[in-house]
Amino acid sequence: MQQTLTSTPTSLTPLPVPQRVINQIVTAALAEDNPRGDLTGNVLIPAHIQATAAVIAREPGICAGLETFIAAMKLTDPALELVAALADGDAFAKGDTLITVTGPARGLLAGERVGLNLLQRLSGIATATAAFVKEAAGTKARIVDTRKTTPGLRALERYAVRCGGGHNHRDNLSDAVMAKDNHLALLGTGEELTAALLAARAQLGHTTHFEVEIDSLTQLDAVLAAGIDTIMLDNFTLEDLATGVARINGTALVEASGNVKLDTVASIAATGVDVISSGALTHSVRALDLGLDIRIETPTP
């Protein structure tokens, strides 16, 4: 089904990634792609040649990652000048210009691949997220990502989720307590599980969030008795999700996870859950088709 996307469905500007983090990621990517200079550009393109290029959308989507593209160009050649035609979180149509670059042709060509790779991937994540958010519209459910991100790119990929109108789960293992199925398998059941969760809670500061994942309604009473902040209902049927929401009855946030796809997310949201998490937003998203069209500005003498 063809999706019609709009700009970020929120009145808030997506919280940006610090420039130093962008520069660290992009610098590493440039070092990988251009370790000893661009051999092709250096032997084919005279140093004095100036050029202008435009990033053109080959398909519609939601923009994310303009600052990473700018960093790829400026860190390659500070003489390059860039002008963005829209902002991260904005929708664009096929054929739209996202950003233009003017300056030394060698630098433009050397930074092109890294800049496009990041912009395409991040815009793909934002576009996919916006489609999920649209499906959940009219419910209270937030669409959130997971830790299933590309190693080294988490800060950027989570930013792209925000550009698409989604929200972020915990950023890393130090952010919050999240007891998953493998943790619970070591803690027992019933009163034993409740006691273990209460003992863990006693070690935490009052600002630390505590989440527990369950895969059966039979575990719910033991977790509820521990006063947990968020209860994740993992791979539940729609009927069991609705039952879980009713039994929790506002005493904890309810998160749904598992089997979250574009054609299932609306039904999941309709059960009344507070949060819907999907690893697919980052771990298996398709990069958007964006191209860089270049033209010469200074003719060869």
Instruction: Tell me how far apart the alpha carbons of residues 254 and 247 are, in angstroms, rounded to a whole number.
Output: 11
Number of other residues whose CB lies within 10 A of the CB of residue 50: 14
Tell me, yes or no, if 74 is annotated catalytic. no
**Within this chain, do residues 101 and 178 fall inside the same structural domain, yes or no?**
no
Domain-embedded: residue 5? no
- Within the chain, residue ranges assigned H as helices are 19-33, 39-44, 66-76, 105-135, 154-163, 181-184, 190-202, 220-224, 238-248, 265-269, 280-283
**Within this chain, do residues 183 and 208 fall inside the same structural domain, yes or no?**
yes
**Within this chain, do residues 223 and 234 fall inside the same structural domain, yes or no?**
yes
**Within this chain, do residues 268 and 165 fall inside the same structural domain, yes or no?**
yes
**Within this chain, do residues 56 and 103 fall inside the same structural domain, yes or no?**
yes
**Within this chain, do residues 169 and 260 fall inside the same structural domain, yes or no?**
yes
Q: Which of 90, 135, 213, 255 is catalytic?
A: 213
Task: State the pTM of this model.
Answer: 0.93
Domain-embedded: residue 83? yes
168: Cβ contacts below 8 Å, ≥ 6 apart: 144, 145, 158, 161, 162
**Within this chain, do residues 104 and 181 fall inside the same structural domain, yes or no?**
no
pLDDT at 301: 54
Tell me, yes or no, if 213 is annotated catalytic. yes
Domain-embedded: residue 12? no
Q: Which of 113, 147, 170, 247 is catalytic?
A: 113
Under 8 Å between Cβ of 213 and 179:
yes
Q: In what order do the strands lie in the sheet with 97-104?
A: 81-84, 97-104, 50-57, 290-296
Q: Which of 96, 171, 215, 234 is catalytic?
A: 234
**Within this chain, do residues 174 and 113 fall inside the same structural domain, yes or no?**
no
Residue 32 is part of a domain; what is its CATH number? 3.90.1170.20
Compute CA 11 distance to the chain's CA centroid, rounded to the nearest angstrom: 18
By residue range, what is the domain housing residue 186? 138-283
**CA-based diameter of the chain, in Å?**
84
Domain-embedded: residue 33? yes
What is the total count of domains within the chain?
2
Q: Which of 147, 148, 201, 247 is catalytic?
A: 148
Domain-embedded: residue 7? no
Tell me, yes or no, if 234 is annotated catalytic. yes
pLDDT at 297: 77
Q: Which of 147, 180, 201, 247 is catalytic?
A: 180
pLDDT at 298: 61
**Within this chain, do residues 149 and 254 fall inside the same structural domain, yes or no?**
yes
pLDDT at 12: 65
Residue 212 identity (one-letter amino acid): V
Mean pLDDT, contiguous 10-residue spans, the chain (301 residues): 45 85 98 96 95 98 98 98 97 98 97 98 98 97 97 97 97 95 93 96 96 96 97 97 98 96 97 97 96 80 54
Residue 178 is part of a domain; what is its CATH number? 3.20.20.70
**First-last CA distance in the chain:** 53
